């Protein structure tokens, strides 16, 4: 019998997951590439990029052919729409700013797809994320990628022990330039593919997407008043979904000082604006909390907290409260945005996190 370990690697067609597959094969795994078809192919004509278009599927297939490994395409369009895209639209409608990649990772990539890998008897599951899985004192921990500019532990914080126990992240200890170099040196077909950063199902403007995706968008999204924190009306807004906390431009109001979005008041359909310092705050509540270890650590806990993907993490104290945890930062933070994820770090380790209320 073959005693090579089987591994399924999720492939987007980009340089990271392609190189991950290459490395796994080099390391002697029986490697199989899988690409998810997630979003409707009608969009392919308009949009060549993104992480799940037909072109990306072809790119992934080309890489697998090049590596001489099997490649399967799995269709999860329906699940993606109901778990990720509907959630994305719903969050915006309720005045929040979602991060769909985190939902997709939890429900689709490390949910359904990983389940599929288990059903197909794969020993391990791999992705091209920049983060590390390590074993410490009998349990699995999620650590930041060694490349601090690329670290993606933030989008993986909802993973638990059962996922981590099967997860291999070949790029966790690598830096992006090294990855590109390996891809180029070995002529991996994706070597020169540009980075994709945006949300895969949104063209370039999320508001355009929402207005065509949401039924009765016009009756759900209405213009309203722009007010300052004292309640003084300063102008009109187009509809709350067009704004996000901390946003500065696009208000169309000239005022004695620069105006920033402080809050989306869905109850009154009004947009609260103010001076830059009004966008800073020290406290937040976090709900739907998930801990990588599977159990809540002793609270209160001093740790670093990151409130969006590109936020520079900041020291805080996490303590328990009803339906989640309360976070008190040592220093006020700019634009704590409801719907975004707060992730708790201790040193290099991502302990867990939740959604900002």
Partner 1 sequence: MKKRIVYADHNATTPLSPEALEAMGPYLKTVYGNASSLHVFGQESKKALEDAREAIAGLINAEKPEEIIFTSGGTESDNMAIKGLALSSLNKGKHIITTQVEHHAVLTTCEYLAANGFKADFVGVDKFCRVNPKDIINAVKPDTFLVSVMHANNEVGVIEPIAEIAKLLNIENEKRRSAGHPKIYFHTDAVQSAGKLKLDVAALGVDMLSISAHKFYGPKGVGAIYVKRGTPVEPILHGGHHERNLRAGTENIAGIKGMAKALEAACREREKEQPRLYFLRDRLEKGIVEKIPETTVNGHYLERISGTLNVSFKYVEGESLMLSLDLEGIAASTGSACASGSSEPSHVLKAMGADPATAQGALRFSFGHQNTDEDIDYILEVLPRIVSRLRAMSPWWAKEHPQQ
Q: What's the distance, CA 36 to chain centroid? A: 17
Asked if 124 is part of the footprint of partner 1 (rule: CB under 8 A), the reply reads no
Structure tokens at 229: 């924190």
Contact pick of 46, 68, 78, 137 for partner 1 (by CB under 8 A): 78
Cα 250 to Cα 227: distance, rounded to the nearest angstrom: 15
Nearer to partner 1 among residue 57 and residue 241 (C-beta): 57
* DSSP string computed for 89-156: HHHHHTT----HHHHHIIIIIIIIIHHHHHHTT-SEEE---SEEEEEETTEEEEEE-SSTTT--GGGG
- 101, 200, 303, 321: the active-site residue: 200
Q: Is 140 left (phi over 0), alpha (psi -120 to 50) or beta?
A: beta
Contact pick of 10, 32, 69, 142 for partner 1 (by CB under 8 A): 32
- 83, 104, 303, 321: the active-site residue: 104
Structure tokens at 108: 């689709």
Q: Could you tell me how many residues of this chain bind partner 1 (CB under 8 A)?
A: 17
CB-based contacts of 11, cutoff 8 Å, min separation 6: 17, 18, 21, 33, 34, 35, 60, 63, 64, 71, 128
Contact pick of 42, 119, 197, 249 for partner 1 (by CB under 8 A): 119
Nearer to partner 1 among residue 33 and residue 172 (C-beta): 33
Asked if residues 305 and 347 have their Cβ atoms less than 8 Å apart, the reply is no
Q: Verify whether residue 104 is a known catalytic residue.
A: yes
Asked if 74 is part of the footprint of partner 1 (rule: CB under 8 A), the reply reads yes
Cα 257 to Cα 321: distance, rounded to the nearest angstrom: 37
Nearer to partner 1 among residue 120 and residue 173 (C-beta): 120
Contact pick of 5, 6, 161, 334 for partner 1 (by CB under 8 A): 6
Contact pick of 90, 120, 205, 332 for partner 1 (by CB under 8 A): 120
Residue 166, CA atoms < 13 Å, CB-side half-sphere: 21
For the CB of residue 281, give the shortest distance to partner 1 in the complex, in Å: 43
Span interacting with partner 1, options 70-78, 90-98, 202-210, 234-242, rule CB under 8 A: 70-78
Contact pick of 27, 58, 65, 75 for partner 1 (by CB under 8 A): 75
Positions in the binding site for partner 1 (CB under 8 A): 6, 32, 37, 70, 72-78, 115-116, 118-121
């Amino acid at each position: 019998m073959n005693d090579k370990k089987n591994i399924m690697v999720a492939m987007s067609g980009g340089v990271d997951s392609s190189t991950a597959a290459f490395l796994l094969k080099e390391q002697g795994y029986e490697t199989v590439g899988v690409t998810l078809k997630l979003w409707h192919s009608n969009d392919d004509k308009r949009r060549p990029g993104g992480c799940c278009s037909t072109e990306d599927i072809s790119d992934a297939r080309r890489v697998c052919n090049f590596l001489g490994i099997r490649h399967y395409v799995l269709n999860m369009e329906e699940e993606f729409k109901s778990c990720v895209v509907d959630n994305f639209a719903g969050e915006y409608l309720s005045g929040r700013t979602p991060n769909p990649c985190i939902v997709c990772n939890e429900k689709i990539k490390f949910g359904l797809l990983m389940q599929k890998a288990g059903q197909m008897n794969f020993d391990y599951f791999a992705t091209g994320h920049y983060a590390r899985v390590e074993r410490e004192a009998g349990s699995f921990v999620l650590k930041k990628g060694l490349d601090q500019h690329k670290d993606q532990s933030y989008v993986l914080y909802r993973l638990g022990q059962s996922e981590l126990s099967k997860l291999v992240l070949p790029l966790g200890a690598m830096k992006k330039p090294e990855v590109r170099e390996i891809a180029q040196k070995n002529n991996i077909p994706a070597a020169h593919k540009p980075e994709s950063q945006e949300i895969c199902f949104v063209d370039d403007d999320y508001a355009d997407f929402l207005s065509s995706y949401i039924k009765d968008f016009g009756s759900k999204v209405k213009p309203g008043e722009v007010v300052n924190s004292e309640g003084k009306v300063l102008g009109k807004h187009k509809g709350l979904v067009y704004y996000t906390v901390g946003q500065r431009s696009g208000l169309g109001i000239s005022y004695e000082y620069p105006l920033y979005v402080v809050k989306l008041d869905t109850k009154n359909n009004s947009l609260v604006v103010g001076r830059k310092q009004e966008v800073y705050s020290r406290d937040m509540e976090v709900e739907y909390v998930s801990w990588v270890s599977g159990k809540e650590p002793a609270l209160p806990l001093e740790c670093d907290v990151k409130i969006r993907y590109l936020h520079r993490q900041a020291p805080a104290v996490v303590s328990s409260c009803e339906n989640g945890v309360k976070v008190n930062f040592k220093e006020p933070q700019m634009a704590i945005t409801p719907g975004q994820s707060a992730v708790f770090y201790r040193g290099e380790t991502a302990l867990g996190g939740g959604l900002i209320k």
